[in-house]
Structure 1
Amino acid sequence: MHDPMTGLEKAVWWTEYVIRNKGAKHLRNPAVNLPFYQYYLLDVIGFLVLATISVVAVVIVLIKKMIKLFLNNFIQNRSKIKKIQ
């Protein structure tokens, strides 16, 4: 809390530290070394999009099959009722 160094002294100290350690590569952010697709999370986004499309496709197929089943059942019941009358 009570730092004896001023802002300018800290800036000078860190600048000298980086010069002494030849760039201080150990202080660099590891994200600098990531490939483009990992840095922008394109692999994660691609997986989520693919998973969402798959779920939507399965739901659509199931809904179509259910509608077809209900319509066939309705038509068969209707034809049975007409035969009885």
Structure 2
Amino acid sequence: MVQGRLGSQVDPGLDSGRCALMLRWDASGPARATDLVARLGMDMSTVSRQVASLVALGLVERVPHPGDGRVRPSSISAEGSADRSG
């Protein structure tokens, strides 16, 4: 699969599922896992695992929510953006 090959070139730990999530991530900025589930039509447990692994790879970061300290939306990090742009 092309996504899998591209993902492994960015980072050996980036499989096709996580690569697809990053490629389809809405450019509108930070999103909670529930937002990603709604936008992408994916299963919540899958999105949660993939986001957690992308955070561990440094490609996604959790950011504080300005209005609610309990909420930690995620956004593609500077490293993740650089990796996606080539």
Q: TM-score range by the shorter chain?
A: under 0.3
TM-score normalised by L of structure 1:
0.25
User: Greater Rg, structure 1 or structure 2?
Assistant: 1
* Structure ranking higher in strand proportion: 2
TM-score normalised by L of structure 2:
0.24
* Structure ranking higher in helix proportion: 1
